[in-house]
Amino acid sequence: MRATAAEAAEDFTSLVEMIAVLHYPLGIFVNIASTETYADLVPEVRGRVVAFAVTLQKGKVHLIESQT
């Protein structure tokens, strides 16, 4: 929940490993309770990760999507 840039970078590294090992065509990162997707931190698999940031604002879901 609400990853920092350093935490997101670690998560992206793990996600890249999972994509490779499991031969997934796409990986998804969701940063809950944040408006920052950190998509610019995705390492070597650019184009194969979609990052979301999700917050609740005034009782409504606010979703930001960033494709790498």
Identify the pLDDT of residue 43: 85
Query: What does the H/E/C string look like for 3-66?
Result: CCHHHHHHHHHHHHHHHHHHCCCCEEEEEECCCCCCHHHCCCCCCCEEEEEEEEECCEEEEEEE
State the average pLDDT over residues 14-43: 95
Give the global pTM. Answer: 0.89
State the average pLDDT over residues 6-20: 95
Rounded distance, CA 41 to CA 61, Å?
24
Q: If pLDDT is split at 50, 70 and 90, which confidence band does 50 have?
A: very high
Tokens of 27: 């990986």
Does 26 score more than 90 pLDDT?
Answer: yes
8 Å CB contact between 4 and 32: no
